[in-house]
Amino acid sequence: MNTQARSRHWQLAPDSTGIVQDAADIEQCIFNILGTRKGTDVCRPAFGSNHFDYIDTPEDVFVPNCVREVVLAVKTWEPRAEVTQVTFAGNAPHIVMTVHWRVAAAVAGEIYRSDILLKAA
């Protein structure tokens, strides 16, 4: 179990096995954002994404609207990530959405530190 944060970007792991940090922390936030339908978080009704609203629509309506909602939600709620592409695989009712993202330049440019113990020979 990893319980010691070595990054300022960390949170508790969803399976209670410790913590997630760095890019895994950002990824977990993206999962939380895209797994939440707007209006369902009582304390933050604007939190989440509206991509769920397009699931049962024709493909030519579903794809562009879903992509727009995903990009908007991640941009709004996770500024540490930049969505580069959203792709879909499979056929209804088993569609897999893949969100391609990278760490935002403002976060990637952070200075990290590593403490190295030096011993005399």
| Average pLDDT of the segment spanning 36-62 | 92
List, in order, residues 6 or more apart from 5 with CB less than 8 Å away. Answer: 19, 21
> Between 75 and 106, where is the model more confident?
75
Residue pair 112/103 in contact by the 8 Å Cβ criterion: no
Which of the pair, 99 or 11, is modelled with greater confidence?
99
Higher-confidence residue of 35 and 12: namely 35
Domains, the chain, with CATH or none: 10-106 (3.10.450.40)
**pTM strictly above 0.75:** yes
The sign of the CA dihedral 44, 46, 65, 104 is: negative
Q: What is the dihedral of CA 44, 100, 91, 67, to 10 degrees?
A: 50
Which whole number is the average pLDDT over 2-15?
59
10 or 75, which is more confident?
75
